[in-house]
Chain A
């Protein structure tokens, strides 16, 4: 996933004064910007993955409505933040995702069918292949943050050139774990990129009621390292800011601390999850944010750059749709063994667990599996 590039020097700006944006709202390059030299293949790969993220999201919401998967956390509006940041990592880097970061996990090598299996309630959906450097999704809020710091710390202690990127939302910045994690990162100077996707809502609580601080990025200052705010609907800006943060984590300048807190500002266009009804606490998506659809904006940029036309867009769409269809088929073919719940609780099962497993087996043999769903 790493490529050799020649980048102009960007200074990470002070979050209190500037939000990094390379594209304007319509997808044109902003006049004051020297576009970083990002290879065409990378630019297109980001587009393809964002397109896949959008299609996957639409499909997952539909599967949930049909009762084929359980609660799902939509990502509409997060495509640029997730995909471009994940693309900015090197192959050996690690990623700590939340329950909403399906697209980032996909970019980092997770199989879509595996993710769908978890959504369909199969324990096997949490299986992660050996060569995939992604942790299982973190559902309790902010708990991954100190762990990501520990992982990055381990890289330093073991002399490895690995960066850990940790995703979380705006709500997570209220939890103690956020503050403890960032404090450790500063003190132990760990190669951690804290990637906050500020989508403005923690279920029903708006960003303004989450913190009285002007920016979330500014919280980094209290811990002695840099914070940067980036337009989370601008994939070029997200990519570049994340790449620079990862580069700094690996190789800081004299006197510079390795960690960075990136605040990617976007808007959660849909519900918090398919169990949530946003109409109880907000009146639709504000026009300002509807107009900043990350996919539309980026597509305009790529068309202007001569990298996309109708034909290529259609071909990409067909390919990602086919990939998603295949993943749905594979996920729906999954069958779980109920006894798998007793596996992986400990490295070696305890005698008591073996007894309980035998008890379940005896009951299933005696009464049949259908009996377990009766009586409600």
Chain B
């Protein structure tokens, strides 16, 4: 759909070849910044808006330097109003721009929830395809950085439950850049959850220049034969630690990073499970009604006869995230994953 004010004809350049020419060693938050900078540079319809994203460069410095580079009209400090930010972004998107809205912490997204689920998610459906909403909404999520209340939420299931929204959760710097770029270019609204515990905890090779990672594709992080560990985002790290510890005792874990929690890569999930016959799902959001339930149901529907043991869930508990003295007891620590895998393999 194009509005008269904006020429929305092809402005994007084709990506360079699939082999990236070079990589840079970046932290996850640096990769986010690199992704934003690249997309702002390659498509002048892209704009970044949110609280403190401009002059201050974002509370996590994810947008540092972008306002200086692209100006106040493209990297916009907004008033303090989440519904306003997302609602305005929907309007911008509907009329030819490519907004990337930042919600400062996932725990503050709820005023914008109505805009996201009632409007962004169903604008295409409600208008029978006449209007679309190409919108990326970034938000840092998750616990583990000793943050105050409402700064540690992992509420991805709320968004994954909403038809019309896509929800991606990177766990590596390269995926953070690539999934963000895909989200910005996607014709539909995409919620991009950034694991803030990994912002500076992880470094990795990130392709320089334009780089995308397909939405909806899980990634095999570790090949294994005994049990499939399905996880994403910040929990890929304790899952990897647990897999190494278990390998030392002779249990071979396959670790699958979902990367997109809606739509799920059901094919890869089922493939892995058909090979191992055992599954442990790990996420930090509360257990009931979470992504783990959806993965488990998928396995029941598609691969019941491959199943050798009950599917285990290692998740946050069904409680508000505790203040930081006790958040380690709330989060799926590696020890909990090890314990669950041992129990699963024993069956």
A373 touches B333 (CB 8 A): yes
A123 touches B325 (CB 8 A): yes
Q: How far is the CA of A176 from the CA of B84 in the complex (A)?
A: 8
B319 touches A353 (CB 8 A): yes
Given the known interface contacts A175-B80, A376-B144, the answer about A205 and B52 at a Cβ–Cβ threshold of 8 Å is: yes
B110 touches A140 (CB 8 A): yes
The prevalent SS among residues of B at the interface is loop
For B84, list chain A residues within 8 Å (CB). 174, 176
For B57, list chain A residues within 8 Å (CB). 280
Q: How far is the CA of A375 from the CA of B337 in the complex (A)?
A: 10
A372 touches B59 (CB 8 A): no
Cβ of B131 under 8 Å from chain A: no
A203 touches B333 (CB 8 A): no
Chain B nearest CB from A331 CB (Å) reads 12
Cβ of B157 under 8 Å from chain A: no
Cβ of A209 under 8 Å from chain B: yes
Interface residues of B in 320-346 (CB under 8 A from A): 320, 322-330, 333-336, 339
Q: Interface size on B (CB < 8 Å)?
A: 51
For B302, list chain A residues within 8 Å (CB). none
For A338, list chain B residues within 8 Å (CB). 322, 326, 329
Cβ of A366 under 8 Å from chain B: yes
Given the known interface contacts A123-B325, A363-B339, the answer about A341 and B317 at a Cβ–Cβ threshold of 8 Å is: yes
For B326, list chain A residues within 8 Å (CB). 121, 123, 336, 338, 340-341
Chain A nearest CB from B27 CB (Å) reads 15
Chain A nearest CB from B56 CB (Å) reads 3
1/0 contact trace for A339-372 toward B, CB 8 Å? 0111001000010110010001001101101011
B320 touches A345 (CB 8 A): yes
For A204, list chain B residues within 8 Å (CB). 52, 54-56, 77
Interface residues of B in 215-240 (CB under 8 A from A): 237-238
A203 touches B238 (CB 8 A): no
1/0 contact trace for B148-161 toward A, CB 8 Å? 11110000000000
Closest to B242 in A: A375
For A70, list chain B residues within 8 Å (CB). 146-148, 324
Out of B80, B151, B288, which one reaches A205, CB within 8 Å?
B80
B81 touches A175 (CB 8 A): yes
How many of chain A's residues touch chain B, expressed as a range? 35 or more
Cβ of B111 under 8 Å from chain A: yes
Given the known interface contacts A210-B80, A345-B320, the answer about A373 and B149 at a Cβ–Cβ threshold of 8 Å is: no
Given the known interface contacts A363-B336, A376-B238, the answer about A280 and B325 at a Cβ–Cβ threshold of 8 Å is: no
B146 touches A371 (CB 8 A): no
Cβ of B254 under 8 Å from chain A: no
For B241, list chain A residues within 8 Å (CB). 374-376
Q: How far is the CA of A118 from the CA of B336 in the complex (A)?
A: 27
Out of A99, A177, A275, A373, which one reaches B328, CB within 8 Å?
A373
B111 touches A176 (CB 8 A): yes
Q: How far is the CA of A174 from the CA of B322 in the complex (A)?
A: 29
A203 touches B150 (CB 8 A): no
Interface residues of A in 108-131 (CB under 8 A from B): 118, 120-123, 125-126
Given the known interface contacts A341-B322, A372-B328, A373-B328, the answer about A209 and B339 at a Cβ–Cβ threshold of 8 Å is: no
Q: How far is the CA of A345 from the CA of B327 in the complex (A)?
A: 16
A374 touches B335 (CB 8 A): yes
Closest to A275 in B: B59
Q: How many A-B contacts at CB < 8 Å in the complex?
A: 148
Cβ of B51 under 8 Å from chain A: yes
For A371, list chain B residues within 8 Å (CB). 333, 335
B325 touches A122 (CB 8 A): yes
Cβ of B70 under 8 Å from chain A: no
Chain B nearest CB from A66 CB (Å) reads 14
Q: How far is the CA of A341 from the CA of B84 in the complex (A)?
A: 34
A141 touches B148 (CB 8 A): no
Cβ of B307 under 8 Å from chain A: no
B333 touches A372 (CB 8 A): yes
Q: How far is the CA of A229 from the CA of B78 in the complex (A)?
A: 25
B80 touches A141 (CB 8 A): yes
Cβ of A147 under 8 Å from chain B: no
Closest to A364 in B: B329
Cβ of A211 under 8 Å from chain B: yes
For A320, list chain B residues within 8 Å (CB). none
Chain B nearest CB from A274 CB (Å) reads 11
Cβ of A172 under 8 Å from chain B: yes
Chain A nearest CB from B309 CB (Å) reads 17
Q: How far is the CA of A59 from the CA of B118 in the complex (A)?
A: 46
Out of A209, A341, A363, which one reaches B330, CB within 8 Å?
A341
Instruction: List 27 A-B pairs, Cβ < 8 Å.
Output: A70-B147, A70-B324, A99-B148, A121-B146, A121-B323, A139-B150, A171-B79, A174-B84, A175-B83, A175-B111, A203-B52, A205-B52, A205-B79, A205-B80, A275-B59, A281-B55, A336-B326, A341-B317, A341-B329, A341-B330, A367-B339, A369-B329, A371-B333, A375-B237, A375-B242, A375-B333, A376-B201
Query: Which residues of A approach B to under 8 Å, CB–CB?
Result: 70-71, 99, 118, 120-123, 125-126, 139-141, 171-172, 174-177, 202-205, 209-211, 275-276, 280-281, 336, 338, 340-342, 345, 350, 352-353, 356, 360, 363-364, 366-367, 369, 371-376
The 8 lowest CB-CB distance pairs between A and B, nearest first, are A375-B334, A204-B56, A121-B324, A171-B80, A174-B79, A121-B325, A338-B329, A375-B241
Instruction: For the A-B complex with A373-B328, A376-B237 known, give 12 more contacts whose Cβ atoms are closer than 8 Å.
Output: A71-B146, A99-B148, A139-B149, A140-B107, A140-B150, A174-B81, A203-B52, A276-B56, A341-B317, A341-B320, A372-B328, A372-B329
